[in-house]
């Protein structure tokens, strides 16, 4: 049931570095604001917001930052109106990409994306050209001593799509409805450290690259993630 990718490993290894730069805070605040606007500011009735607040705790975001973001989303405080967009594209070596964006200036966001793609041997694709390879899924990654068999045994009752373990890192991909209960099992029953738990895009249609090609793709993905309006980047790279 392997679903692990080099990019997912890189992502959670660089999470602390992102937090130190403040970029992680900024992107998460935008997500909290949009979630509160769409489904309300009460975490008990907004599972997406509850997940984001858990993430805020994990990266040590001050509580007042999250509360202020919620109030901006519900209209209790003035704030910018962010629009969620998902763009599709092809990166170096024809790797398929799904890019989640939150922006208050759609024209600026797409211009920056097009510039990044054109400078790095990629191209933006029409809607649907890449999306058919991906499905919306819960993606949970972290660290701890475990095996694929052990994870599978504990998660048999849940809608698991893929499980992988590489050294002391693991990744579980599941149906969106199973994200929270699986996270609970991983942390409370198995004692694993969950570093990322999010709703994202997952592809079972993997493309295998050699080391040099993979490094070129990873460098491009890093360029994309550095863009202010890019929230997350997903790829079908093995």
Structure tokens at 163: 């499980």
pLDDT per residue as tens digits for the range 218-233 = 889 889 988 989 998 9
φ, ψ of residue 147 to 5 degrees: the values are -135, 165
Answer yes or no: are the C-beta atoms of 89 and 117 closer than 8 Å: yes
Q: Average per-residue pLDDT in the chain?
A: 87
Fold of 13-74: Arc Repressor Mutant, subunit A (1.10.10)
Which pLDDT does position 129 carry in this prediction?
Answer: 95
Reference 143, options 2, 13, 4; nearest CA is 13
SS3 17: helix
Which pLDDT does position 55 carry in this prediction?
Answer: 86
State the pTM of this model.
0.80
* Delimiting residues of CATH 1.10.10.200 domain(s) in the chain: 13-74
Gap between the Cα atoms of 24 and 4, Å rounded: 22
Fold of 134-202: Alpha-Beta Plaits (3.30.70)
SS3 100: strand
* Delimiting residues of CATH 3.30.70.980 domain(s) in the chain: 83-132+205-235, 134-202
Question: Helix-strand-coil percent breakdown of the chain, rounded to 5?
Answer: 50, 25, 25
Q: What is the mean pLDDT of residues 202-208?
A: 90
Reference 53, options 80, 35, 74; nearest CA is 35
Answer yes or no: are the C-beta atoms of 206 and 171 closer than 8 Å: no
In this prediction, what percent of the chain has a pLDDT beyond 90?
58
pLDDT per residue as tens digits for the range 150-167 = 999 999 999 999 999 988
Question: Does the structure show a pLDDT above 90 at 60?
Answer: no
Fold of 83-132+205-235: Alpha-Beta Plaits (3.30.70)
Gap between the Cα atoms of 53 and 110, Å rounded: 28
Answer yes or no: are the C-beta atoms of 176 and 136 closer than 8 Å: yes
């Amino acid at each position: 049931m392997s679903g692990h990718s080099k990019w997912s490993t890189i992502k959670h290894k660089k999470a602390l570095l992102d937090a130190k730069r403040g970029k992680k805070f900024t992107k998460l605040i935008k997500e909290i604001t949009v979630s509160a606007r769409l489904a309300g500011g009460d975490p008990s009735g907004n599972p997406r917001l509850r997940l984001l607040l858990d993430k805020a705790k994990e990266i040590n975001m001050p509580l007042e930052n999250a509360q202020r973001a919620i109030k901006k989303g519900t209209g209790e405080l003035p704030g910018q109106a962010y629009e969620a967009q998902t763009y599709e594209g092809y990166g170096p070596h024809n790797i398929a990409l799904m890019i989640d964006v939150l922006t208050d200036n759609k024209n600026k966001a797409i211009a920056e994306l097009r510039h990044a793609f054109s400078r790095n041997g990629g191209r933006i694709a029409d809607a649907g050209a890449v999306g058919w390879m991906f499905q919306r899924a819960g993606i949970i990654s972290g660290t701890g001593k475990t095996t694929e068999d052990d994870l599978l045994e504990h998660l048999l009752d849940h809608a698991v799509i893929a499980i992988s373990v590489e050294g002391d890192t693991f990744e579980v991909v599941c149906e969106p409805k199973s994200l929270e209960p699986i996270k609970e099992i991983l942390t409370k029953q198995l004692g694993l450290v969950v570093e990322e738990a999010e709703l994202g895009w997952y592809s079972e249609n993997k493309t295998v690259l050699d080391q040099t090609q993979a490094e070129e793709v990873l460098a491009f993905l890093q360029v994309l993630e550095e863009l202010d309006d890019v929230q997350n980047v997903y790829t079908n790279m093995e």
